[in-house]
Structure formats: C-alpha cells, structure tokens
Amino acid sequence: MFLSGLTTNLGALLSTKVLEKWPVIARHDRAAEWLQIWTDLGRAPRTIDAYARGLAEYLEVCDREAVDPLRANRAHLAKYVRELSTRPSKRGTNVVSLDSGAGLANATLQQRLVPVRLFYDFLMEEGLRESNPVGRGRYTPGNRFGGHQRGLVPRLTKLPWIPSDQQWLDVLTVARDEPVRNRVMLALAYDAALRREELCSLRTDDLDPGRRTLRVRAEATKNRLERVVPYSATTGVLLSGYLAHRATISRARGPLFLSESRRNHAQPLTLWTWSKVVRRLALAADLPRFSTHTTRHLCLTDLARMGWELHAIATFAGHRSTESTMQYIHLSGRDLAEKLQRGMDQIHAWRVEKLAMLGPDLVSAGWK
C-alpha cells in the first residue's frame, strides 16, 4: 500500500524536521502524503516547514472540533479563520505590529490559509472532493457587485515601512560601534537590496572586488533567479576590512560571514543570528519596526526616487514580475510627484496667460 511506503519515506525526509514538530500531520495520511509530494518536488526546507505549520494548525482545529478535514465545508473554515484572527500572540508585547489588534496580521492569515487551500486543491485532484472550501478571490461574470468574488479573508495591501532620513542616520549611528562583520552586512544589505537569506548565504567566491559586484546565487533567492548586483565604493572599503578580519578566523574559502562565538566559532552565520543583530540595532535606535528586510525596501525605494525604470529596478531586486516592483514606485511617490508638477506647470502657464485679460495697459506698465 502506498501509505505504508510513504511512512518509510517520511521517516527519512520529514520525521525529524516536520513530523516530530507537527505530529498531527502524521495522524492524517492524506496530509502527510500531500506534504511528501512537495518535499519530493524539491521545495525549500523553509517552505515545507511553513506549509506544515499552516496545515498542522488547521488539522488541530479539526481534531478539536471533531471535524473530518476531508469533509469540512466553508463554515468550518470560517471558524478556523475566526480563531486565527482572535488568537492572542504567544510573543505578547514583543510583536512589532498586529493588524487585527488581537490575533494574527492580515498577511499572516493569508500565509496560514495558503497550505490549507493547496491541500484541498490536492484532494480535488485526487477525486476526494468536488470543491475547495477555502476558495480564492476571483472574477465572476454576472456578479452584480463588480464581478468579483471575495476570498475567505479580505486581502489588505500595504506599502512597506521605510525609515526617514533621520531614522536611517540613527540606525547607522548605533551600528558604528558594531563589529566590522555586522557593519559590512548592513552596508551590503542596503547597497545590493539583499534579502536576509541572500545576505547570509553569500560565499567568498561570490565576490568580485575588482568590479565591486557580487553574485546572488539562484538557490539562495526567493524565486530562484540568479543575479549580479553592484555595491558602492564605501561598502567596498568596509568589505576589504572584513576580509582581512575574516582571515584571522578562517582562511578557508566558503561562507563569507562567519560566527565568532565560542560555541559556533568559524561556522556560517545563521539567519537567526543576523535577525537578532538587526533587532538589537533597531531597539537601540528606538525603531522597533526596523527589520532585516527594511534595508531592501529602502534601497529599492531610493532607486525609484532616483528615476530608475521599472524593469531596471525589477532586475536589480530579482523580481520575476514587475507587480512586486510597483510598490516601490508607489512608495517613492515618483509618478505622483511628476504628474503633480506637470499639472501645476500647465495650470500656472494658463493663469499667467489669462492675466492679460486684466488689460493691455499692463504691458506698457511693465507687467510681464
């Protein structure tokens, strides 16, 4: 039987990292089968963990409510959403922002529902269900309310937060006292608009100091798009100093950023360590909203402000679609500012022209 063989495979691929963390999945054969398929397709471990977490939370609610997930309907999903939107955060006051005021933020709610939706898509493909109770927002011909059917949870689209010039200076002032590794990481994160995983995954052979460029490898990116990006001369000086310092820790080629702690000396720096560094800097600068992704948002917004074309920013950022890039155009206010200026110029010219209606004697009196 397939599921008996599946258990063996899961023991090798998922037990230590997923099934032991989310044992409820092991109690639902179809859920384990679905997760195994995504693992076999080569999805990133973090993606698998996110899928497992979202589905496990849903299955736990089903078990508590005595609902068979294979037969759940939209009403059951609505109860699950209500629980997510009212659930107190385990992190309490350490949470930076909660849109709902009590439970999970809107973006997090959407993330939790993605694996549940995909799970029901799988059940439909297997012929175990005729419909997906999660559904998705879509255009519906004939709908008198604009022809659009709402998804289970309304999607809020917010622009990312970026610091003001003074707030950015406050962060840099605090960072001046940091070790050279942390300073060069902060500089590269901004200069090259790097995501956290891209930054921490850099290797020594990804650098080209002569041309001041670095290669962001496909396997480290969110959408598996490799790119080469430049960094500034200022960052190049910092990087040169760090490379000299790194040689005192390890002369071996490999991961660029190394841990200097006693426990993990000379080991690759982890994502979580970098997150803790940035969090500490943010609190010291009294900017709790500053995160590892803020530098990327700030860089791309600055490029939009400087007049970079949309496709150029998308290439620099490694976006597969320019839809993701458009938020930085909006955030910069570039298009609105240009349109406003053009409009004001036209209005001004029109008003000056009409001043001539005050009388021909204005010209002879020196009015222009």
Q: How do residues 134-150 score in pLDDT, each as one tens digit?
A: 876 544 344 444 444 45
For 290-321, b/e burial (b = at least 16 CB within 10 A) is bbbebbbbbbbbebbeeebeeeebbbbbbbee
Q: What is the pLDDT of residues 230-271, one digit of tens each?
A: 999 999 999 999 999 999 999 999 999 999 998 999 999 999
Q: What percent of the chain has pLDDT over 90?
A: 50
CA–CA separation, 256 and 215 (whole Å): 12
Q: Which domain holds residue 130?
A: 2-149
Say yes or no: 142 and 9 in one domain: yes
Residues 268 and 207 in one domain: yes
Beta strands 207-208 and 213-216 are antiparallel
Q: 133 and 192 in one domain? A: no
Pair 242, 344 in one domain: no
- Give the residue from 149, 181, 203 where a domain finishes: 149
Q: What's the whole-number mean pLDDT along residues 305-328? A: 89
Q: How many domains does the chain divide into?
A: 3
Residues 233 and 141 in one domain: no
Note the pLDDT of residue 100.
Answer: 39
More confident of the two residues 97 and 106: 106
CATH number at residue 114: 1.10.150.130
Q: Is the pTM of this model over 0.85?
A: no
Length of the chain: 368
Residue 154 lies in a domain: no
Q: What is the mean pLDDT of residues 331-352?
A: 70
Are residues 34 and 123 located together in one domain of the fold?
yes
Longest dimension (CA), the chain: 102
Q: Is residue 57 domain-shared with residue 193, that is, in the same domain?
A: no
Q: What is the mean pLDDT of the chain?
A: 82
Same domain, 95 and 210: no
Q: Please tell me whether residues 55 and 145 are part of one structural domain.
A: yes
Token pair of 31, please? 């859920």
Asked if the model's pLDDT at residue 154 lies above 80, the reply is no
Query: Does 23 map to a domain?
Result: yes
Report yes or no on 210 lying in a domain. Answer: yes
Task: Give the Cα separation of 199 and 270 in Å (integer).
Answer: 10
> With bands split at pLDDT 50, 70 and 90, how would you rate the model's confidence at 327?
confident
